[in-house]
Structure 1
Amino acid sequence: MSVLQNMMWLLDVRTVLLCVVVLLVLRWFLGRPKNLPPGPWGFPLIGSVPAIVREIRRGVEPHDLFIRYAAKYGPVFRLQIFNKTAVVLNDYTSVKEAFQHPQLQDRPEMLIQKILSDGVATISGQPWVELRRFCLTALRSFGVGKTSFEEKIGTEAEELVKEMSAFNGKSFNPKHLLGNAVSNVICSVVFGKRYEYTDKEFERLLFLLARNFELLGSGGAINYFPELRHVPFLPTSEIVSNFKEIREFLLKVIDKHRAAFDADDLRDFIDVYLVEVKNNQAKDDIGEEHGYLTDDNLVGTIENIFAAGSETTATTLQWALLYMAVYPEIQQRVQTEIDAVVGRNRLPRMADKPELNFTRAVIWEVQRLSLIVPFGVPHAAASDTQFHGFMIPKGAFLVPNLWAVARDPKVWSDPDQFQPERFLNDKGEAVQADELIPFSVGRRSCIGEHLAKVELLIFFSFFLHQFTFKKPDNSSPLSLKGKNGITYSPEEFDICAMKRE
């Protein structure tokens, strides 16, 4: 009798499990909104994850896989990732229109928010509007976007030139030097100081940021999909640990600012933010309505600005040096132009920009081909939204495949070729194409875009004015193949900076 009871119990359990599976599958098929964008078939519950993982294991980069999907389903297609709908945008028109749409401006929930708290790049709705406005105003108040700020960038560029000169033409890996120099520019605004290249604590911070950019993977999948955080072979625990260490560093900086705070002498971005927080707290104490700037948002915002103002620009400069070593004839043309415009008795400056046409074209072409953030930063739909004849459901991700935009053969002839001349008109004047959008587009485009553009021109022109960059003798050929993280960075490489007379 007990054996029969056990068999009946087992049958009951199997029946219940079967019913649960059937219900989940029915919910999967019947619960989806109508008129979604087309896309590849996905399994119930896990969606397109197996197909994407299979292609990645075969060596296909996600941005290239999405280009294949776009060829089949159109420039706006849908993927189902677990219980999330991701709408991938693969041409300039769809990215621009989507990212200007008022209902497609939110951010999806991110892992980074849970550790560092909300920041200007991760928050949504009215708090984001207020926080972005404040950040732009505060950064401008300390010179970002003004001619006077060029001096700070130039000073850091000169320090970097000294560091490169110290190698006396011997090979070195430029990654650390570039990261420290570019980060120091944003540090001067946010932290009110610069760090020596030998500062171990700051070197550790840069390592943690770069490491997490790599670990988060192409497009930052772990950051956006909670389900992936529990997969045992993914590096979630290291990512969380790194973010916590970054948070401790930033909290120490903030505490030092609080201890030395003087409302009559606001030294940097943190001081200005602390004033705003104090004003909001005072209003809260007497029951008045106040803004969204809080202590909780400060750490996340500092990290957002710091990461956006350092990692991407430093990586672009790595690519620029690599391309110059691989294409020495292009490097020589840049040097010839800089010498003709600037001469050999002074360093370049922003006033030279209108005449540095080929130099600017080379920077743009490096940005186009290296496309540092292939998938940008995803948006999320604030509500059910009609877009290009499709329904974008509330909460859906909108992923811009900026890599596809930068290599669209309808826009760029020979898109895989390094051809800076594509940005020159018949008069030899530099003309930036609208479709070149390495900083994304719309109201949520990179908050540090203007700063990055100035940094790229000053650092790059300083480098080519002072050095000729070459592959080390007896070394393997330099590779232009990158490695995918949140940023698309070059493989580690050494280079020689030969001092010019």
Structure 2
Amino acid sequence: MDLLDLRTFLLGVLLLLVLRWLLGRPKNLPPGPWGFPLLGSIPAIVWGMFRGSEPHHQFHRYAAKYGPIFCFKILNKTVVVLNDYTLVKEAFQHPQLSDRPKNILTDVLKVDAVVVSNGEPWVEMRRFCLTVLRSFGVGKTSFEEKIGTEAEELMKEMAAFGGKPFNPKSFIGNAVANVICCVIFGKRYEYNDEEFKYLLDLLTQNAQLSGGGGLIGFLPGLRFLPLSPFPALLANFTEIFGFIGKFIDAHRKNFDADDLKDLTDVYLKEIQQNLARDKDGMLPDRKHVKNSKYRHLSERNIVGTIVGLFGAGSETTATTLQWALLYMMVYPDIQKRVQAEIDDVVGRNRMPRMADIPELHFTRAVTWEVQRLANIVPLGVPHSAASDIYLQGYLIPKDTLVLPNMWTIFQDPKHWPEPEQFKPERFLNGGGEAVKANELIPFSTGRRSCIGEHLAKMEIFLFFAFFMHQFTFKKPEDSPPLTLKGRGGLTHAPLPYELCAVPRG
């Protein structure tokens, strides 16, 4: 084939690809931006990020142009973005929009987990996790003692700086992780444990590498693009699985079916029963296997499920608390109001308790406003359409990725007047009582809402109340100006900062 024939051939292939791109779009799809053949909207998103605009910012602009529901292509995958609270609520209650797409865990690492599974296995794993977490007190008032104990340890670490500047990130991350660790592994880790600090750092790295909505992990085709963070993401996951695998193996060595100390023990017992049932119906001690509600619990999903619980139970809550302290430094008058309310309700002779919540109206309003404005997971976690369905007259084809644009929902002026302003008063009624708006859904909504929602709410309230009770947080004199600009990724985290935790009298 001579050079002219080769050029003609390549031009013809390109033309066919363009025609397929233009004519292959199903009818009744939501509106959306034009994309390039094969690549779709990747160039626009990458160019926006190069100019300092995160995907949730770009989608916010798309929502203003195309409306509350729009779609675009990434490679050969259709992505639908929902930008309205009522739309997200309707969609995520639909059983055909409750799946997760294939991701790095299932597609590459060949493991399963409650966060990425579908169908009956997901129903079982979710029910199991919720049941066991409740059995160990999570979400109940009795569990606050464990949170309070960890909060007091964190206060000691902060007090040890004597009012001098430090970065609170690692201390908060360790404290929050210890709370979920006591349920999953039955132990806590010291703040100077280098191995544990490294594990938390890997989780933070992956939250950044995953990108908005975690799309890198849910669109495996992106791994082949130049400069893709996928290799680093995969390497980190491999190390994280190695760490968690060692913790589980240690439980295996000391396993006692009659003394289940934590969620890992309970999980191992279910696996043991399922393996025995598949063989001769007898356990190692030759006792008959009892009926189990959780037939799908196995070696394939124990590590992934525990990694998911551990990651979700630490990264987002710790990030929320980092934002809370940053906002208190930026708005010292609001910090003083919170401290005054806590002093009035709690006093100076004891620490805050869950029983104080009904009277700490402004304190609760501040935590809600932090969650709204900081917007910890701005694009949520992707759902996948299990079949073709219609949503408000638009076709959502099977296997479409569906993203909730929390950034636009939490910035909607219909629900939040002056949405860019930090105004905790928006959550107070005329009588000064705290009233949480339905539109505030930091833990998502519907069938796949966050498993750890109750735990996270307790932690955010108690840690924040302890902070305000014990310290006044100030900007170090010689540090750079404070900024509320965040760093993109699966989680929207504050840029690194230092603070002075000045003990209160």
TM-score band, normalised by shorter chain: over 0.9
Partner of 1:106: 99
Q: If the length of structure 2 is used for normalisation, what is the TM-score?
A: 0.95
In structure 1, the gaps of 5 or more residues are 1-5
Query: Is 1:316 equivalent to 2:320 in the alignment?
Result: yes
Query: Is 1:267 equivalent to 2:271 in the alignment?
Result: no
Partner of 1:241: 235
Provide the secondary structure at the position in 2 that maps to 1:437: coil
Q: 1:348 aligns with which of 346, 352, 374?
A: 352
Q: 2:401 aligns with which of 392, 397, 400?
A: 397
Provide the secondary structure at the position in 1 that maps to 2:439: coil
Query: Is 1:81 equivalent to 2:85 in the alignment?
Result: no
Could you tell me whether the CA contact under 8 Å between 2:214 and 2:382 is conserved in 1?
no
Provide the secondary structure at the position in 1 that maps to 2:48: helix
RMSD over aligned Cα atoms? 1.6
Deviation at 1:329, TM superposition (A): 0.5
Show CA shifts across 1:274-328 (max 9, x none): 1111111122225999721111101110011011100000000000001111111
State how far apart, in whole Å, the 2-side matches of 1:60 and 1:255 are. Answer: 44
State how far apart, in whole Å, the 2-side matches of 1:434 and 1:471 are. Answer: 34
Amino acid at match of 2:354: M
Comparing 81-90 and 62-71, the one that deviates more: 62-71
Show CA shifts across 1:144-166 (max 9, x none): 11111110000000000000010
Q: 2:309 aligns with which of 305, 330, 333?
A: 305
Q: 1:448 aligns with which of 449, 452, 469?
A: 452
- Provide the aligned length of Structure 1 versus Structure 2: 494
Query: Is 1:56 equivalent to 2:49 in the alignment?
Result: yes
Q: 1:212 aligns with which of 206, 210, 219?
A: 206
Could you tell me whether the CA contact under 8 Å between 1:78 and 1:86 is conserved in 2?
yes
Comparing 113-122 and 234-243, the one that deviates more: 113-122
Partner of 2:247: 253
State how far apart, in whole Å, the 2-side matches of 1:436 and 1:36 are. Answer: 28
**Residues 258-297 of structure 1 mapped to structure 2, 5 A cutoff:** 258-286=252-280, 291-297=295-301
Could you tell me whether the CA contact under 8 Å between 1:116 and 1:299 is conserved in 2?
no
Partner of 2:285: none
Could you tell me whether the CA contact under 8 Å between 2:479 and 2:498 is conserved in 1?
no
Q: 2:194 aligns with which of 200, 224, 236?
A: 200
Amino acid at match of 2:214: G
Amino acid at match of 1:176: S
Amino acid at match of 2:314: S
Deviation at 1:229, TM superposition (A): 0.6
**Residues 446-485 of structure 1 mapped to structure 2, 5 A cutoff:** 446-485=450-489
Partner of 1:3: none
Q: 1:121 aligns with which of 115, 122, 129?
A: 115
**Residues 324-343 of structure 1 mapped to structure 2, 5 A cutoff:** 324-343=328-347
Partner of 1:231: 225
Show CA shifts across 1:253-285 (max 9, x none): 111111100000001000101111111112222
Deviation at 1:15, TM superposition (A): 5.2
State how far apart, in whole Å, the 2-side matches of 1:52 and 1:160 are. Answer: 40
Amino acid at match of 2:376: I
State how far apart, in whole Å, the 1-side matches of 2:122 and 2:7 are. Answer: 49
Deviation at 1:13, TM superposition (A): 4.7
Deviation at 1:20, TM superposition (A): 3.8
Deviation at 1:26, TM superposition (A): 3.6
Comparing 259-268 and 287-296, the one that deviates more: 287-296
State how far apart, in whole Å, the 2-side matches of 1:477 and 1:12 are. Answer: 62
State how far apart, in whole Å, the 2-side matches of 1:204 and 1:254 are. Answer: 18
State how far apart, in whole Å, the 1-side matches of 2:5 and 2:253 are. Answer: 66
Could you tell me whether the CA contact under 8 Å between 1:116 and 1:244 is conserved in 2?
no
State how far apart, in whole Å, the 1-side matches of 2:148 and 2:265 are. Answer: 25
Change (3 A) 1:426 1:284: same
Partner of 1:37: 30
State how far apart, in whole Å, the 2-side matches of 1:384 and 1:258 are. Answer: 44
Could you tell me whether the CA contact under 8 Å between 1:116 and 1:243 is conserved in 2?
no
Amino acid at match of 2:360: L
Show CA shifts across 1:50-105 (max 9, x none): 22222222222221211111111110001111100000001101111111111000
State how far apart, in whole Å, the 1-side matches of 2:110 and 2:462 are. Answer: 32
Amino acid at match of 1:83: N
Q: If the length of structure 1 is used for normalisation, what is the TM-score?
A: 0.96
Show CA shifts across 1:115-141 (max 9, x none): 372111111111111110110001111
Q: 2:135 aligns with which of 127, 133, 141?
A: 141
**Residues 173-184 of structure 1 mapped to structure 2, 5 A cutoff:** 173-184=167-178
Could you tell me whether the CA contact under 8 Å between 1:375 and 1:400 is conserved in 2?
yes
State how far apart, in whole Å, the 2-side matches of 1:79 and 1:26 are. Answer: 17
Change (3 A) 1:420 1:116: farther
Query: Is 1:71 equivalent to 2:64 in the alignment?
Result: yes
Identity %: 65
